[in-house]
Structure 1
Amino acid sequence: MTFLGEGWDSTAVLVGGRWVERRPRRPEIGPQLVRESVVMPWLAPLLPLPVPVPVVVSHDPVVVRHELVPGEELTSPGAVQGRQLGEFLRALHAAPVSEAVARGAGPRPLPVERFRAEVDVPGGEELLAKIAGLPADTLVHGDLGPDHVLGRDGVLTGVIDFGDLHVGDAAIDLAWALHCTPPEFADAVAETYGVTDELRERALVWHQLGPWHEVLHGNDLGDPEIAKIGLAGVQERLKTWVTPR
């Protein structure tokens, strides 16, 4: 076995050079991994890029295993990868919500009261008010970023980590792609997907909310440094303005 990494929710090792084995870091994550094993076999054929299709190999403790999705974390992406991601998101967001819900992928409530209690910053309440009014009618990845979008030789090779898959606002999957990437990549995503000004603004709201989760994660771990970094991110992103393209 080769240790691959440790995220907020699970740890991963590579078995036999081919299989990724994941275990939950906390008890409440076990059902999340099991849910992936139900949803992903249905969802994967609908998508234009490779994704993990986990199989449960143990229920107590929970262990899932799936074939390795090739590629490395995305760095300096360009227009080709942007078009690929736009096509991927269009396919994902077109997946039938009723069928996803039947397989356990429902809405995911935000920890709004914890945000209010643990993230006290100017402008924070206004951001939370915007979040409360956003739609929740689309199957979304829920945690799309450079560590979950894989590439190699100038093209995308897959998308991983569907633990936060849920029914929510399509704009959450565009937050990083539109507001944290090079212009040529972001523009290609927007053109291919068909991003409107209203959708771009919603994506900015989700982009601004991202570091709030890091503050809570640091508090849960009892790690003030992580919480401090998250709070700095909260304050920085609240300064962000929508820039039309």
Structure 2
Amino acid sequence: MLRLEIVLRSAARDWWGPTVADDFDGGWDNRVTLVDGRWVDRAPRYPDREPQLRREVGLLPWLAPLLPLPIPVPEIVSEDPFTVRHEYLPGDACPGTSPAHGAAIGSFLRALHSVDPDEAVHQGARDSDAARGELQGTLARMERLVLPLLPDRAGSSGRALLDRMTTRQTASRLVHGDLGSEHIRVVGEQIGGVIDWGDTCLTDPAVDLAWTALGSSAAFAEAVVVAYRPDEDLLARARDWHLLGPWHEVLHGLDTDQPSYVESGLAGIVARLER
């Protein structure tokens, strides 16, 4: 799902479990803990999130050598509780303003979207049928739970967006699936890593351009587009994925009984539809 909110992941360490650690977590799906300043431990918040972590353990070690930027390479360090660990990738959240960052991300996405999709599924990625089924279920929930909450002035454009997303058929490529500022870590003008791969699957590659080409600054976005070279249809689809982002925030607020997420998500939906 396209949620544009986000987080990731001494010589004297116990490889088979966390030592004294600092929690630096804010993620929706996983508890994320920094261990000894060098390792990131991730454990699912809910039992239904465990399969996606197991998929990462299979997929990311295969994928990492194929990409021009660092990504996590997790290993299982505990089965009870289920926990994976990878080396900490340094950096701050990408501000989405630097052309150098944008060019690096554009090249990264071209490489990611060029990966053999069949081999990616063999390595553990969710296939296009599973991803499509999940999306259709999410869109149905948005129509039932979120659309009625929109003000009248946004209702028709909101319904049109859901209709486009429901009926659209596109070629599927391996995507990150949740590529926002917090999941791109930067150190100066360099990219320190691309993190949080829980939503990776085979789906419309336009999802990865939603924030990078439409939610960032003009300089960053232009550099992404120059490096990636998307056609107009791909950019139009990316715009719809960008419009859909705050709808997930509303669903999260409803699912977890957090009205602040519902309120901010609805404000984001209206702002993007009217922009």
TM over 0.5: yes
Q: Distance in 2 between matches of 1:136 and 1:55?
A: 31
Whether the 8 Å CA contact 1:171–1:206 is kept in 2: the answer is yes
Give the C-alpha shift of residue 136 in structure 1: 4.6
**Cα deviations by residue, 1:4-57 (Å, 9 ceiling, x for unpaired):** 222010111111211100111111111111110000010000000110011111
Q: Distance in 2 between matches of 1:30 and 1:60?
A: 12
Mapping of residues 1-245 of structure 1, within 5 Å:
1-105=21-125, 106-107=127-128, 108=131, 109-110=134-135, 111-120=138-147, 121=150, 122=155, 123-132=157-166, 133-240=168-275
**Structure-2 change in CA distance of 1:134 and 1:204 (3 Å):** farther
Whether the 8 Å CA contact 1:136–1:167 is kept in 2: the answer is no
Query: SS of 1:119's equivalent?
Result: helix
Q: Distance in 2 between matches of 1:64 and 1:112?
A: 31
**Cα deviations by residue, 1:69-103 (Å, 9 ceiling, x for unpaired):** 11111125311111100010001001110011112
**Cα deviations by residue, 1:102-124 (Å, 9 ceiling, x for unpaired):** 12312322112111111123122
Identity of matched residues, %: 45
Q: Write the letter of the residue equivalent to 2:266.
A: L
Count of residue pairs brought into register by the alignment: 240
Query: SS of 1:13's equivalent?
Result: strand
Structure 1's consecutive aligned runs of 4 or more residues displaced over 6 angstroms after TM superposition are none
Give the C-alpha shift of residue 59 in structure 1: 2.1
Counterpart for residue 7 of structure 2: none
TM normalised by structure 1 equals 0.95
Q: Distance in 1 between matches of 2:237 and 2:172?
A: 14
Q: Distance in 2 between matches of 1:160 and 1:84?
A: 15
Query: SS of 2:118's equivalent?
Result: helix
Q: Give 5+ residue unaligned stretches, structure 1.
A: 241-245
Give the C-alpha shift of residue 134 in structure 1: 4.0
Q: Write the letter of the residue equivalent to 1:17.
A: G
Q: Write the letter of the residue equivalent to 2:202.
A: V
Q: Quote the RMSD (CA, aligned, Å).
A: 1.2
Q: Give 5+ residue unaligned stretches, structure 2.
A: 1-20
Q: Write the letter of the residue equivalent to 2:35.
A: V
Q: Write the letter of the residue equivalent to 1:126.
A: A
Give the C-alpha shift of residue 187 in structure 1: 0.4
Q: Write the letter of the residue equivalent to 1:127.
A: L
Q: Distance in 1 between matches of 2:140 and 2:162?
A: 10
Q: Distance in 1 between matches of 2:94 and 2:73?
A: 21
Q: Write the letter of the residue equivalent to 1:9.
A: D
Q: Write the letter of the residue equivalent to 1:71.
A: G
**Structure-2 change in CA distance of 1:127 and 1:76 (3 Å):** closer
Q: Distance in 1 between matches of 2:274 and 2:76?
A: 44
